[in-house]
Chain A
Amino acid sequence: MVDSIKVYPAKPSKVYFYGTCLVDMFYPDAGMAGIQLLEREGIEVIFPQNQTCCGQPAYTSGYHDEARAVAKAQLGLFPEDWPIVVPSGSCGGMMRKHYPALFKDTSDEMKAAEIAGRVWELTDFLLHVCHIKLDDLGEPTTVAMHTSCSARREMGVAEVGPKLLGQLKNVNLVEQVRAEECCGFGGTFAIRHPEISGAMVSEKVDAIVDTGAKDFVTTDCGCLMNIDGYAEKNRKSLSGQHILSFLWERTNGTKGEPS
Chain B
Amino acid sequence: MSETAQQSPHHIDVKEFHPRAQAAIHNPKIRQNFRKAMDGLMTKRKSAFEGWDLETLRDLGANIRLRALANLPDLLEQLEQKLTENGIKVHWAVDSDDACQIVRDICVARDAKSVIKGKSMVSEEMELNHYLEEQGITALESDLGEYIVQLAGETPSHIIMPAIHKNTGEISELMHEKTGTDLSHDVEYLTTAARLQLREKFMNADVGVSGVNFAVAETGTLCLVENEGNGRMTTTVPPCHIAVTGIEKVVPNLEDVTALMALLTRSATGQHITTYFNMISGPRKPDEMDGPEEVHLVLVDNGRSSIYQDNELLDTLRCIRCGACMNHCPVYTRVGGHTYGTTYPGPIGKILMPHLIGLDEGRHLPTASSLCGACGEVCPVKIPIPDLLVRLRQESVDGDKLHPAKVNGHGAKRGAMEAMVWKGWSWMHARPGAYRFGTNMAARFRKLQPGKIGGWTQFRTAPKLASKTLHERMKERGQ
Contacts and interface: CB of A to CB of B under 8 A. Distances in A.
A222 B21 CA distance: 23
B360 to A, nearest CB: 15
B390 to A, nearest CB: 6
A163 B393 CA distance: 37
Interface stretch (A111-119, A129-137, A223-231, A242-250): A223-231
Contact of A65 (B401, B460, B464): B401
Given A193-B367, A194-B455, A28 B432 contact: no
Tier of interface size on chain A: 35 or more
Interface string B394-437: 11110111110000000001000001001101101111100110
Interface in A205-232: 225-226, 229-230, 232
Contacts of B397: 61-63
Interface string A129-171: 0000000000000000000011011100000000000000000
Main secondary structure of the interface of A (DSSP, over half): helix
Contacts of B377: 1, 153
Contacts of A53: 429, 435
A122 interface: no
A192 B455 contact: yes
A24 B469 contact: yes
B454 A186 contact: no
Given A60-B390, A65-B400, A194-B459, A50 B425 contact: no
Contacts of B458: 194, 198
Contacts of A153: 372-374, 376-377
A67 B430 CA distance: 9
A23 B472 CA distance: 12
A254 interface: no
B335 A196 contact: yes
A105 B471 CA distance: 33
B426 A67 contact: yes
Nearest to A184: B370
A200 interface: yes
B373 A149 contact: yes
Given A25-B443, A105-B402, A196-B334, A189 B468 contact: no
B471 A61 contact: no
A191 B457 CA distance: 9
A184 B31 CA distance: 16
Contacts of B402: 64-65, 68, 104-106
A73 B471 contact: no
A229 to B, nearest CB: 3
A58 B479 CA distance: 28
A50 B475 CA distance: 11
Contact of B426 (A66, A191, A226, A233): A66
A232 B460 CA distance: 7
Contacts of A186: 369-372
Contacts of B479: 46-47, 49
B430 A72 contact: yes
Contact of B370 (A1, A46, A55, A185): A185
Interface string B30-50: 010000000000000000000
B107 to A, nearest CB: 42
Contact of A61 (B368, B422, B428): B422
B461 interface: yes
Contacts of A63: 394, 397, 400, 419, 422, 426
Contact of A182 (B367, B374, B439): B374
> Which of B331, B419, B454 has the most chain A CB atoms closer than 10 A to its own CB?
B331
B370 A182 contact: yes
A150 B435 CA distance: 25
Contact of B429 (A4, A32, A35, A52): A52
B463 interface: yes
B288 interface: no
A50 B431 CA distance: 8
A206 to B, nearest CB: 12
A187 B456 CA distance: 10
> Which of A21, A29, A70, A233 has the most chain B CB atoms closer than 10 A to its own CB?
A70
24 contacts: A19-B471, A24-B470, A25-B465, A25-B469, A26-B466, A28-B473, A52-B432, A61-B422, A63-B394, A63-B397, A68-B402, A101-B387, A149-B373, A184-B370, A188-B367, A190-B370, A191-B456, A192-B455, A193-B331, A193-B368, A197-B459, A198-B459, A226-B460, A230-B460
Given A24-B471, A49-B471, A153-B376, 14 more contacts: A1-B377, A25-B469, A60-B390, A62-B394, A73-B432, A152-B373, A153-B377, A192-B367, A193-B455, A196-B331, A197-B370, A200-B370, A233-B459, A233-B461
Interface of A: 1, 4, 19, 21, 23-29, 31-32, 35, 46-47, 49-53, 55, 57-70, 72-73, 101, 104-106, 149-150, 152-154, 180-182, 184-202, 225-226, 229-230, 232-234, 258
Top 8 A-B residue pairs of the complex, sorted by shortest distance between their CB atoms = A186-B370, A194-B455, A229-B460, A62-B393, A182-B372, A66-B426, A153-B373, A50-B432
